[in-house]
């Protein structure tokens, strides 16, 4: 009888520790991947193909053209913000990532105490419930702690 008092809690403790250590390893790998990607962002940011063609055409005639990410949807409604960055290059990198993942992100800016922040947002929804669906999808698929904002 005393055997069960020690074996079952010991087994549960072992499973808990083993399970948590595996999650920690996965989290560490994901963090390393993100840090590695952030380091390479400053080197290159890939623009969509149509943007690259426009840049090539402009350079052929000697014009300088800046990469322009997708613009914000018109009108008011709810949107899901996935990131707020001080670095525009990194924000553009995130936009490219979400385009590759099948979303339609856009970039907005905000000035807080003289500092410019680049907001990466996805969607324009009429209802809060629709925005919550996307927020939950992003949390489930990519472990992103996004938030919902109302844009007027």
Residues 104 and 115 sit within 8 Å (Cβ to Cβ)? no
| Range name among 27-36, 89-98, 114-123 with the lowest pLDDT average | 27-36
How much is the pLDDT for 135? 96
CA angle at 94 for the pair 117 and 134, rounded to the nearest 5°: 95
Instruction: Give 47-71 pLDDT, tens digit per residue.
Output: 445 545 554 555 455 555 555 556 6
The three-class DSSP label of residue 32 is helix
DSSP secondary structure code for residue 46 in this structure: P
Nearest residue to 56 (alpha-carbon basis) of 47, 28, 15, 101: 47
Any idea what DSSP says for residue 72?
P
Q: Which CATH architecture has domain 69-151?
A: 2-Layer Sandwich (3.30)
Q: Using one digit for the tens of pLDDT, what is the confidence trace for 83-110?
A: 999 999 999 999 999 999 999 999 999 9
| pTM of the complete model | 0.55
* Residues 53, 36: Cα–Cα separation, whole Å: 28
SS3 61: coil
Pairwise CA distance, residues 97 & 91, whole Å? 10
């Amino acid at each position: 009888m005393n055997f069960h008092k020690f074996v079952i809690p010991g087994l549960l403790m072992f499973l808990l520790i083993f399970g948590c250590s595996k999650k920690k390893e996965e989290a560490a790998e994901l963090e390393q991947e993100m840090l590695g990607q952030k380091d390479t962002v400053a080197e290159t940011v890939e623009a969509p193909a149509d943007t690259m063609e426009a840049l090539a055409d402009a350079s052929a005639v000697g014009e300088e053209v800046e990469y322009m990410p997708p613009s914000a949807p018109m009108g008011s409604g709810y949107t899901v913000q996935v990131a707020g960055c001080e670095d525009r290059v990194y924000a553009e990198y995130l936009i490219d990532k979400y385009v590759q993942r099948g979303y339609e992100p856009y970039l907005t800016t905000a000035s807080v105490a003289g500092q410019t922040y680049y907001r990466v947002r996805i969607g324009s929804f009429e209802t809060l419930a629709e925005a919550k669906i996307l927020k939950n999808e992003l949390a489930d698929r990519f472990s992103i702690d996004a938030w919902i904002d109302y844009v007027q």
